[in-house]
Amino acid sequence: MSGSREPIGVIGTGYVGLVTAAGFAELGNDVRCIDIDEAKIEGLQQGRIPIWEPGLEDLVAHHRARMHFSTNIADALEHTRLLFVAVGTPPTYSGDADLSAVHAVVDAMPASDRHALVMKSTVPVGTGDSIKRAFAERGKGGFRYVSCPEFLKEGSAVKDFLEPDRVVVGDDGDWAGDAVVELYSPLDAPLVRTDIRSAEMVKLASNAFLATKISFINEIANVCEETGADVIEVARGMGLDDRIGPKFLQAGIGFGGSCFPKDVAALKQLAGNSGYHFQLLNSVIEVNELQKRRVMSKLQKYLGSLVGKEIALLGLAFKPNTDDMREASSLVLSARLQAAGANVRAYDPVAEHEARKLIRGVEFAGSAAEAIEGADAIVLVTEWPEFADLDFGDVATAMRGTLVVDGRNFLDREGVAAAGLSYEGIGRPAATRTPAPVAQFGGE
């Protein structure tokens, strides 16, 4: 692409920052990447990518000449006018977003009429206004502010950057908003240009809606279990209605990750702090917490007491194609299993390194086969593609028991049953019949 594209700064080189930086480098922008983590920056300078994200390593390697890594924010201030902020905003104990990293960045900004902060981090509605107020009070009123929330999904983040469903730009209608719109223009995505508060709310409301969809289908799954319906069939039938759509209707053992749990909690808190009780979100959160624990009752139904039982966990990351363990269902599950006296052996194709930092007392296996050996029960926690290839004849031979709990309704239910194993999905009866495909009536 042309060399005339505007150089930009990206502050924070985590999942969002590094993908944003590499994505803009792909579009032809020179990118100054800043992080306070010296080890991370040193690694990046030597070409080491700190996270597991498909396609990212190649993209960074390809655009090495356009990507500059430093711990010194002056480097970005000197070479760029637009500073994308992609620092973490983790939850506090109250559920409010912890904005200390955002404030550290704001505090580090000098008085300037030629710079703008472009907020990619997910922040409560009103954050932009309070940052603008802080700038004004400190004689830095010339500093511009743009809200540009990020919607990428870990596991497909590079593709999501390059092919976004939409770009949302919330600003005051000045040069900075125009410049951000211009930066994204090669992507040819639908643009929502709006005020800062609305842009901030688009992000929180989108994640809260998706989380609501998941908790809704999980509750339907639980009712399916009581009534003999199959949630897979139900979701298929619902999803063909284009007012509903098929996405985020996969029942399972709850949502996790670095965004949904914290953003739902943050929106609930934001509403509460503003005097509004967001009743629906309370239920979304509660259903999700209970859903993570449902595996326990399924195991106990077959095995009785779990004391001394060998349980194999397949997958630990909060979803496939990432090594992110933040708020993963496996954290709750492994702790509950151990509290109930079970011995837990776990395998994840890429998340073991991250998992070791957060999970205690679990034995880590180097392969699915190793995790399964001698197990009384298997629990599929993360639907990594490689688990679809398990040979259940071999699995049945290797196990001591016969129970397979499919926490993501991902495994071949009939294949499991044909190997003489007991299949327990989420919201599904045991394998007894082959459902008629919808396709015969005109198809999906």
Ligand X SMILES: NC(=O)c1ccc[n+]([C@@H]2O[C@H](COP(=O)([O-])OP(=O)(O)OC[C@H]3O[C@@H](n4cnc5c(N)ncnc54)[C@H](O)[C@@H]3O)[C@@H](O)[C@H]2O)c1
Could you tell me if 395 and 344 are in contact, meaning their C-beta atoms sit under 8 angstroms apart?
no
Q: Which is nearer to ligand X, 155 or 177 (CB)?
A: 155
Q: What DSSP state is assigned to residue 365?
A: P
How many other CB atoms are found less than 10 A from the CB of residue 193? 15
- CA–CA separation, 166 vs 187, rounded Å? 10
Give 122 or 321: the residue with its C-beta nearer to ligand X: 122
Residue whose CB is less far from ligand X, 248 or 302: 248
How far apart are CB 264 and ligand X at their closest, in Å? Answer: 12
Structure tokens at 178: 């125009």
Q: Which is nearer to ligand X, 86 or 328 (CB)?
A: 86
In three-state secondary structure terms, 441 is: helix
Amino acid at 362: V
Identify residue 10 by its one-letter amino acid code.
V
Task: Judge whether 176 and 146 are in contact, CB under 8 Å.
Answer: yes
The minimum distance between CB 5 and ligand X, in angstroms, equals 23
Nearest to 187 by CA among 27, 69, 303, 358: 27
Residue 11 beta carbon to ligand X: minimum distance, rounded to whole angstroms:
5
Q: Which is nearer to ligand X, 70 or 402 (CB)?
A: 70
CA atoms within 13 A on the CB side of 26: 21
Tell me how far CA of residue 57 lies from CA of 54, 153, 195, 444, in angstroms. Answer: 8, 17, 35, 35
Spatial contact of 131 and 67, defined as CB atoms under 8 Å apart: no
- Residue number, nearest CB to ligand X: 14
Catalytic residue status for 224: no
Residue pointed to by tokens 């981090």: 121
Query: Which of these is catalytic: 33, 148, 224, 259?
Result: 259
Smallest distance, ligand X to C-beta of residue 322, A:
8
Residues making contact with ligand X (CB under 6 A)? 11-17, 34-37, 40, 86-89, 101, 104-105, 120-122, 150, 152, 154, 258-259
CB of 157 to ligand X, least distance (A): 7
Burial of 332-351, coded b for 16+ CB within 10 Å and e otherwise, reads bbbebbbeeebbbbbbbbbb
- Give the rounded distance of the alpha carbon of 332 from its chain centre: 17
Task: Indicate left, alpha or beta for 292 from its phi (over 0: left) and psi (-120 to 50: alpha).
Answer: alpha
> What's the closest the beta carbon of residue 155 comes to ligand X, in angstroms?
9
C-beta of 10 vs 311, nearer to ligand X: 10
Q: How far is the CB of 297 from ligand X (least distance, A)?
A: 31
At residue 374, φ and ψ (nearest 5 deg) are: 75, 10
d(CA 313, CA 317): 11
Beta strands 363-364 and 343-347: pairing type?
Answer: parallel
Instruction: Identify whether the C-beta of residue 337 lies closer than 8 Å to the C-beta of residue 309.
Output: no
In the bound state with ligand X, the residue whose beta carbon lies nearer, of 325 and 426, is 325
Which positions are catalytic?
Answer: 259
